[in-house]
Amino acid sequence: MATKQQFRSFDEVLSSSPVPILVDFYATWCGPCQMMAGILTQVNHQLKGQLKIVKIDTDKYPQIASRHQIEALPTLVLFKAGQPMDRIEGVLPTDQLINRLREQLA
């Protein structure tokens, strides 16, 4: 689903993407975050080419989590042209998440 990638600047990743980016702010110890991993695999499959999914481990990148005011895990933030367009805290079932994303992608 998600490919591990090194980057110099998170802002560069957000602003340089030709498609919207769904950022999954998570932690490896977070049970609900592990549930979201499977849901995001299905989302990626159904919305392939319409968005890109990026995972940010808040333990490894606390400065990014802080800058985006991540207070609950998991938190999903949809960015378009580098700007946050939608924010989802907690676990959403696959169909609800896809419907919500499709509204934002239209």
| Separation of alpha carbons 97 and 70, rounded Å | 19
- pLDDT the model gives residue 5: 56
The more confidently predicted of residues 47 and 12 is: 47
- pLDDT the model gives residue 23: 96
Catalytic residues: 30, 33
10 inside domain: no
Q: Which residues pair with 83 in a beta bridge?
A: 80
For the chain, what is the domain count? 1
Q: What is the pTM of this model?
A: 0.90
Query: What pLDDT, in 10s, does the model give residues 28-37?
Result: 999 999 999 9
* CATH number, domain with residue 61: 3.40.30.10
Token duo for residue 76: 């999903």
36 inside domain: yes
66 inside domain: yes
104 inside domain: no
Beta strands 75-80 and 21-26 are: antiparallel
85 inside domain: yes
Residue 63: burial class (beta carbons within 10 Å; 0-12, 13-18, 19+): exposed
Query: What pLDDT, in 10s, does the model give residues 34-79?
Result: 999 999 999 999 999 999 999 999 999 999 999 999 999 999 999 9
